[in-house]
Structure 1
Amino acid sequence: MRVAPPLVPSLVVGRVSHTRRVPLRHTFDHRHVQWLVDIDDLPRFPWPTRLLASFTAADHLDRGRTGAGIRGDLARFLARRGIALEPADRVLMLAHARSLGHVFDPLTVFWCLTVEDELRAVVLEVHNTYGERHAYLVEVDDTGRASVDKAFYVSPFNDVTGRYAIRLRLEPEVVSVTVGLDRSGRRVLTATTSGTPVPATWRSVVQVTVRHLFMTHRVSALIRIHGMRLWLRRLPVLTRPWHDEETVR
């Protein structure tokens, strides 16, 4: 599959929405902004702008444990699953930046592209609010769709059964990720992030940060607020199973 990615680094400015269908209905939609960056050419801004946006291997995959950075962690993850990340390959990452000392990434997407912009691999990295992370290698078809069994405890109101139906778009006009959880032939929930890429200049970073103040802090807070609302509606809390860190290595 060949893609036509936007210019990077970009700010992907748009919305995040979430609809839970069973056993009760709960929907939200919020303003949202993420970054789309080349992991080999991460944006570096002068102080104090760098306080608003920075990227580090510690926030992704194997936390930069071997000192090889995000690319090294990703290359090792893919190699253990039979895929070689070539030196000339480009890796685009959709993620939140660390801002004012905080970052929380419910979902990070890595697109691994050849020099002809053919898709070599796609990795989805999921974080939960318990400090755990899990990476999924997904096989994307020519329409940008993929599916994978759920294997990671994200919400305290869902166990690890079911299968994710995924739809990805990486285009100059739109970058979006839709993830639906299906269980026993029934759609349980759907989550979508979608936005328009805006070139990340010093000026646009400041403007977008002011408009979306404390974005990554807001994401952390909103997840807990919506969780509290579900708990108050007496949605059962499910036991969190042990998680193996090898899933990101």
Structure 2
Amino acid sequence: MTGTAGTGAALYECVIAHARTTPLRDSFRHRTYLWYVDLDRLPVLLRPLRPLARFDARDHFGGGAHSLRAGLDAFLADHGIDLDGGRVTMLAHARVFGFVFNPLTVYWCHDRSDALLCVVAEVHNTYGQRHCYLLRTSEAGEAEVDKEFYVSPFFAVEGRYRMRLPLPGDRLLLSVHLETEEGRAFSAVVRGRRRPATAAALLSAAARRPWSTAAVWAGIHRRGVRLLLRGLPVHPRPRSAPQEGTLS
């Protein structure tokens, strides 16, 4: 195989912007690339390219399913939803050289008629935990949901997320805003441009962003140190939190 022909997979070269407004203002941007794949047609790369992208069921949901699709279907079944074999697409980082960190993975879930039935937003924190939000989005891809999961040590588990997660097209534009009693506390916006997931495109993206997922993880930690040095108070992590799994 010289690429991912026949899988429908795509790569998005992205700029991700984060901004917090309370109790102090801070913002940063970083560049990365994300995969957009069909869970039933995951790309199979040539052997020399496989270290650059691997999709493992252990990295999502409970981590014990035999496939990503099985993990998603089990999560949906727990919420009374049966896609009846409908198509599911996912936007995420792949494992690169054996490491992956996905602050946000998004699944667009269709029924057998290919109508969008729901969206699942899977959030990972840097403590090895993850939690999924089941969303019923509007035609514009918008939904709101109460925050239920500890993500940043600088925010308590309170407030409400306002998300906009439309299906990716030639352009990608996703946003997540955290609203609290004091107003909008945090925003994350993902912008990207679609490219076919060919071998050449993957090599080009990997050359520009080597160790892409490790860079995201390291960047979050560097930002955390900076915020600590600026005196931002820390909210202790709850002893127990709703989560679908612990990362391996």
Range of TM-score over shorter length: over 0.9
Within 5 A, what are the aligned runs for 1:152-191? 152-184=149-181, 186-191=183-188
Identify the match of residue 105 of structure 2 among 97, 105, 108: 108
Instruction: Tell me if the contact between 2:58 and 2:65 (Cα under 8 Å) persists in the aligned partners.
Output: no
CA 1:243–1:174: 2 relative to 1, 3 Å: farther
Tell me what 2:81 maps to: 83
Is 1:98 aligned with 2:95?
Answer: yes
Amino acid at match of 1:174: R
Amino acid at match of 2:42: L
SS in 2 for 1:169: coil
Q: TM-score, normalised by structure 2?
A: 0.92
Tell me what 2:121 maps to: 124
CA 1:246–1:184: 2 relative to 1, 3 Å: closer
Is 1:30 aligned with 2:30?
Answer: yes
Is 1:39 aligned with 2:77?
Answer: no
Counterpart Cα distance in 2 of 1:172 and 1:227: 33
Counterpart Cα distance in 2 of 1:28 and 1:184: 24
Q: TM-score, normalised by structure 1?
A: 0.92
Within 5 A, what are the aligned runs for 1:1-249? 8-63=8-63, 65-67=64-66, 69-87=67-85, 89-184=86-181, 186-244=183-241, 247=244
* Offset from partner CA, 1:30-70 (integer Å, 9 cap, x none): 1121100011111111122110111010111111x143x11
Q: C-alpha root-mean-square deviation of aligned residues, in Å?
A: 1.6
Instruction: Tell me if the contact between 2:143 and 2:163 (Cα under 8 Å) persists in the aligned partners.
Output: yes
Counterpart Cα distance in 2 of 1:243 and 1:133: 12
Counterpart Cα distance in 2 of 1:247 and 1:215: 25
Q: CA deviation at 1:80?
A: 1.2
Stretch moving more, 171-180 or 124-133:
171-180
| Structure 2: runs of 5 or more not aligned | 1-6
SS in 2 for 1:170: coil
Counterpart Cα distance in 1 of 2:13 and 2:93: 12
Amino acid at match of 1:205: L
Counterpart Cα distance in 2 of 1:245 and 1:197: 34
SS in 1 for 2:96: coil
Number of equivalenced pairs: 240
Counterpart Cα distance in 1 of 2:37 and 2:222: 29
Instruction: Tell me if the contact between 1:177 and 1:194 (Cα under 8 Å) persists in the aligned partners.
Output: yes
Counterpart Cα distance in 1 of 2:65 and 2:224: 35
* Offset from partner CA, 1:101-125 (integer Å, 9 cap, x none): 1100000000012354311111000
Percent identity, please. 44
Counterpart Cα distance in 1 of 2:191 and 2:212: 15
Instruction: Tell me if the contact between 1:96 and 1:105 (Cα under 8 Å) persists in the aligned partners.
Output: yes
Counterpart Cα distance in 1 of 2:236 and 2:13: 35
Instruction: Tell me if the contact between 1:152 and 1:243 (Cα under 8 Å) persists in the aligned partners.
Output: no
Counterpart Cα distance in 2 of 1:247 and 1:197: 30
Counterpart Cα distance in 2 of 1:168 and 1:122: 8
Amino acid at match of 1:99: V
* Offset from partner CA, 1:79-116 (integer Å, 9 cap, x none): 111211212x1110000000011100000000012354
